[in-house]
A = this chain, B = another copy of it.
Amino acid sequence: MEKREFKEKVYSELASLTKALAHPFRLQIIDLLAQGSRSVEEIAAQVDISIANASQHLQVMKGANLVSIQKEGHYVHYRLADERVYTVWQSLRELGIDRLAQIERTLKDFREEKNSFQSLSIDQLLEKISEEGVVILDVRPEKEFKAGHIPQALSVPMEKLAQKIADLPAGKEVVVYCRGPFCVFADEAVGLLTGQGIRAIRLEEGFPDWKSRNLPFQTIS
């Protein structure tokens, strides 16, 4: 094999892999599948695209070995093929959040609108846990909480939050988390809580990031 041919093969394959990531919907799908496997229907609903379109994007990702499938009845469940798919997405995300002024501004604008001005990193949360008593709130759908959550977190899915505010331990600071840095549930929750005079702050990252750092987590079966 020629040197040139070798390079062409290797870099082309890796560029194809990269292309298979490079679409807004496909990145959203990765964020979703990081919560667990999902059917085409569920994916289409969450990303808010047609089923045929979702299926097409999933084919692209499957072709690049980013996701794998498991058939069950007439459902096809898609999952991330490898933990490192999420690792790649994490490093892309970090680079973008820090270096693309556009993204930083969009995040800031959106959060200010929700009165979610600050955020906490996982490291800062770990410190807070060991020092003070904080209430940790998981505002993802119950299914995702059951599949895995930060130890001691309370499950209060976003749509139930308003009616459950009264039940929260009084006087304590609340840290809210959801799926990841682009998940809007946490910002909405912080907005709602601070509106009620409760000190609340969002966790910058989400549960998949907690898990990928090999921190302990709880599940409910």
Q: How far is the CA of A88 from the CA of B82 in the complex (A)?
A: 16
CA distance A168 to B209 in the complex (A): 48
Q: Is A184 an interface residue (CB 8 A)?
A: yes
Interface size of A as a range:
35 or more
Q: Mark A76-113, 1 if CB is under 8 A from B, else 0.
A: 00000110110110011111101110110011011001
Pairs across A and B, CB under 8 Å, 19 listed: A1-B109, A3-B184, A7-B184, A9-B106, A10-B106, A11-B24, A11-B25, A12-B24, A13-B102, A13-B106, A14-B27, A14-B93, A17-B100, A18-B21, A18-B92, A21-B22, A84-B95, A88-B88, A88-B91
A162 to B209, CA, bound (A): 50
Q: Does A160 contact B (CB under 8 A)?
A: no
Determine the chain B residues whose CB is within 8 A of the CB of A184 once the complex forms: 3, 6-7
